[in-house]
Every structure is written in C-alpha cells, then in structure tokens.
C-alpha cells in the first residue's frame, strides 16, 4: 500500500519561502495560516551567531497524536490515501484539542484574529466559507479538509491530496522533473527552486525518498513524541535547538 512521504534536504533549502507561497496559493489559505511554513531561528550570539531555518509542513505522522485526541474522529489518518492525515470539516466541532496535541504546530484555527492586515475575510467575504477570494481551487472536498474552510473548524496541510490522488497507481516518486508525474506533485515540492524537496512512496523500496533517507540518514522531527512523521529531514540543522529564553541569548 502506498505511504506518501516527503524528504526535505536542509543543505539544499535556501529558505526562500517559495513553498510557503505555493501552498498558500494552491490551497487558498489565509495570510498567516501557513499549512507550510519556513521557520527561522537563531542560536548563539555575535560573532558566532547562527541563523537557521526549517521548512515545516504537516508531518502526516504514522502514529499521529492529533487523531487519538479528536473526540469526534473529525481528524483521521487515511491509509487508503497514502497515510495522509485529514480533517473532516463536516465533523470538526472546533474544540482545538488536536492543535494542543500536535507537537509540530501545523494545525490552524483560521476563525481568529488575522495575522496579517487587512483581514482578507472582510475584503472577500464568503457565504458558508471563511472567505471567497477571486481565485479558488476548483477541487474541494470538505471530508478531507480541501478547499476553503468554513468557520469554526481546524485546517491543515493535506500533502496536496487533490493532486497526489490522481497520480498513476504504483508510482514510486512524484517528481516535478518527470513530465508524467509533475502535475500530481504537491505544490511545495513542485515549486521548490533548489529542489530541496522530494515526494514519494515510503513503502516502495525503489523510491527516491527511501534511497535518500537510507543513504543520507534522514531524521524525523521530535521523534521522541512517538508520532513517527512521514516527513524526513536531511543535512545539517535537522535538529531544532531547544527553546531558550531570549533574555539568556
């Protein structure tokens, strides 16, 4: 069975945020509601300060804590969809417990104060959905949390399931360089200028993602929580430094 996974090579990533932008455009997310984000953080002090960055999509965990805590089964892991974790907007009651339980902070409750002004929801008011921007993705599936969300529900990255689901059956990798698969490649992977992202089947021994994880010792973020992400990181900087009070830096 297909198990979709992503590999992000931090030695290649330039932190350009093209993935963030592509994701926002593909999924009509609100400004600041970044299903995919590149986080910047710093360690040390001048002259030995180090600025690093971390691209962070939803990890689509193998053992997702968000699924276990959801009191309504609105958030669920769909093994038939390659192990992607979805939010069923028809079942979500907006309790936000999944946001508490997610160790990666990749879930959003968009019915809140705007992170960026002006509030797009007022500029493009929507009927039955949070907003109605001029361009809207043609595919929407509220059972999988795809499209423009209604009020009062939690949203998250879907690994662009509306694209991935149309890939030819049994394909090992979805690669923007391959004309046969580029249309089915997630937006963040397809747009990545330095090709720091790879997307493929973790259950297929022939896949590029498996080769990279094995050859370059792919690591998973916060693996101690037991969530076992399906997103792997390569290269230096994959270990996120522990929080330190700004006063101490």
Partner 1 sequence: MNKGNILQGPMGLMLMVVSAIVALAAFGYAFLDLQSAGHRSFNTTSQIPWGQPIATYLYFALASSGLGMIAALSLVFGFKQFLPIAKRAIYLSVVILLAGMAVLAMELGHVFRMLWVIPLNMQIHSAMFWMGVFYVADLIFLLWKFQKMEGQEWDSKTSKQIGIASFLAVLLASGNLALVFGMMSMRPFWFDGLMPIYFYLTAVASGLAAVVFFTYLAYGFNRNAMPERTRVMFEGPMGKLFAAVLGATVLFILVRAYTGFYTNTPEVNVVWREFLFASPVYQASLWLGIVAPFVVMLIAGLRSNPSLQVLVSMAVFAGLFAERYFFVVGGQVVPLFRGTWEWGLIQYTPSLTEWTLTIMGSAMLFALYAAGERFLNLSDMPAEPATPEGAVAAA
Q: By the criterion CB under 8 A, which residues form the site for partner 1?
A: 33, 37-41, 53-54, 56, 65, 68-74, 91-97, 99-105, 107-115, 119, 151-154, 222, 225-226, 240, 242-247
Closer by beta carbon to partner 1, 128 or else 168: 128
Those residues whose C-beta lies under 8 Å from the C-beta of residue 53, and which sit 6 or more positions away, are 13, 15, 38, 39, 40, 41, 237
Burial bucket for residue 177 (CB in 10 Å: 0-12, 13-18, 19+) = exposed
**Residue 177 C-alpha from the chain's centroid:** 21
ω into 93 cis (within 30 of 0) = no
Q: How far is the CB of 178 from partner 1 (least distance, A)?
A: 32
Tokens at residue 209, please?
Answer: 């993602």
Closer by beta carbon to partner 1, 23 or else 110: 110
Q: How far is the CB of 238 from partner 1 (least distance, A)?
A: 13
Measured CA angle at 177 (ends 174, 181), to 5 deg: 35
Closer by beta carbon to partner 1, 134 or else 247: 247
The label of the residue with tokens 């994959």 reads: 238
Closer by beta carbon to partner 1, 135 or else 247: 247
Q: How far is the CB of 112 from partner 1 (least distance, A)?
A: 5
Q: How far is the CB of 80 from partner 1 (least distance, A)?
A: 18
């Amino acid at each position: 069975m297909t198990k979709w996974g992503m590999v992000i090579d931090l030695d290649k990533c330039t932190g350009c945020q093209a993935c963030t932008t592509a994701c926002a455009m593909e999924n009509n997310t609100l400004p600041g509601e970044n299903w995919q984000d590149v986080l910047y953080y710093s360690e040390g002090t001048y002259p030995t300060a180090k600025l690093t960055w971390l691209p962070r999509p939803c990890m689509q965990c193998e053992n997702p804590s968000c699924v276990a805590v959801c009191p309504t089964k609105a958030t669920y892991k769909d093994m038939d969809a390659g192990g992607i974790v979805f939010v069923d907007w028809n079942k979500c009651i907006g309790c936000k417990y999944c946001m508490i339980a997610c160790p990666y902070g990749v879930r959003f409750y968009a019915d809140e104060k705007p992170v960026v002004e002006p509030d797009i929801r007022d500029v493009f008011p929507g009927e039955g959905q949070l907003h109605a921007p001029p361009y809207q993705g043609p595919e929407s599936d509220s059972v999988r949390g795809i499209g423009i969300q209604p009020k009062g529900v939690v949203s998250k990255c879907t690994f662009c399931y509306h694209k991935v689901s149309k890939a030819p059956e049994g394909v090992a990798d979805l690669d923007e360089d391959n004309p046969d698969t580029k249309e089915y490649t997630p937006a963040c992977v397809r747009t990545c200028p330095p090709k720091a992202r790879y997307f493929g089947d973790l259950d297929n021994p022939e896949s590029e993602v498996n080769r990279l994880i094995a050859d370059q010792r792919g690591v998973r973020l916060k693996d101690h929580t037991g969530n076992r992400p399906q997103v792997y990181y390569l290269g230096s900087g994959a270990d996120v430094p522990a929080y330190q009070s700004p006063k101490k830096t």
